[in-house]
Amino acid sequence: MACILLYSRVAPSSYRHTRTCVCIFSLSLSLSYICYCLLFSSDAIMQKPSDPTQNCLRLRSDGGKKLQQKSPYCTLPLDARATREISLHEANQSNASVNHNTVRNFTSDRPTTNNMGSGKFGNKKLPNAIIVGVKKGGTRAVLEFIRIHPDVRAVGTETHFFDRNYDRGLDWYRCLMPRTMESQITMEKTPSYFVTRETPRRISAMSRDTKLIVVVRDPVTRVISDYTQTLSKTPDIPSFQDLAFQNQSLGLVDTSWNAIRIGMYALHLENWLRYFPLSQIHFVNGERLITDPAGELARVQDFLGLKRIVTDKHFYFNRTKGFPCLKKPESSSSPRCLGKSKGRTHIQIDHDTIEQLRDFYRPYNVKFYEMVGQDFRWE
């Protein structure tokens, strides 16, 4: 109206008529624009909150990836994202199973390209194979040698789960294991298992399919090695003869001394065979492990169902230690030998004492040879 009054005073009538039409048309357009904006805003305000997942799907079909990434409607809540990722994961890995209760944690728990080479990749599993004995037989050497196989992961320390920590439960035991891929074998070693009466039953209760490895050596050499180790830690212990015999002049061996009792292999094996077939127990020859480590490791790999990757090229004989060592790995500047306690020089025991011990162990050795079908020639 102001526009009409203004032009009616200052302009001629024909000119005023034209300008009046223009003003009315402009005013009409302005009013139409204001009404359109009000209607659009009202529709957005009155619209009920929609499922963000549906908005994502709509935007994906309408505008492709670029529109999806720029749109605020396509930011899914955590549960929605996790659920969608689980569906994609299950489609790609038919063997994977995802518990409904772990949906919220799936995003952070699943393996990613960032941790492919880290220790967090894979799962912690109960062991497929256990080195159960024997003490001072060469168990540490077998573990260190087999660990260089890419399909083997092993606990470095002795867990003592089945003989000292069984009351902690299998979940505690599993937590001690290294993370492994589906194709890898999990191992541990605790030499005292072989002579602990409850251990075979407990391992069988965990899994009857567990493969067992026993490293054995001449029981006379073994008991001397055992005493040498103890003497290095406790110098004031009684003499070897005092511990080994009840009455040496009569040749009465003291079987209550644990170092003597460990070498009665047949006695302990009888207990294991109550729970495991002989086919699930592999015996490593401790003497051959020193003279032919590659040959013994080849048999261990066969027993575990592994490809023979650990071979002669991995070993050299250390004349100072009198023991085989691993050659220098590509990632190290020096060869890998066992610790100072391995290959230790034994104390000197007189010939008569050794012969008395051989006489004592002979019937146990013969029975052991018959049980395992192998003559170790400990004479």
Feature table: binding site? 136-140, 217, 225, 342-346
Give the annotated binding-site residues for 3'-phosphoadenylyl sulfate: 136-140, 217, 225, 342-346
Between CA 164 and CA 196 the distance in angstroms is 10
Contact at 8 Å (CB) between 183 and 150? no
Between CA 24 and CA 306 the distance in angstroms is 92
Instruction: Name residues whose C-beta falls within 8 Å of residue 299's C-beta, 6 or more positions apart in sequence.
Output: 282, 284
135, 136, 189, 211: the catalytic one is: 136
Owner of token pair 């004031």 = 236
Which candidate, 302, 324, 333, places its Cα nearest to that of 140?
324
Contact at 8 Å (CB) between 174 and 124? yes
Between CA 74 and CA 84 the distance in angstroms is 13
Terminal CA-CA length for the chain: 127
Owner of token pair 């390209």 = 113
- Our answer to whether residue 136 is catalytic in this structure is yes
Between CA 160 and CA 165 the distance in angstroms is 6
Question: Helix (H, G, I), strand (E, B), or coil: what is residue 281?
Answer: strand
The set of catalytic residues is 136
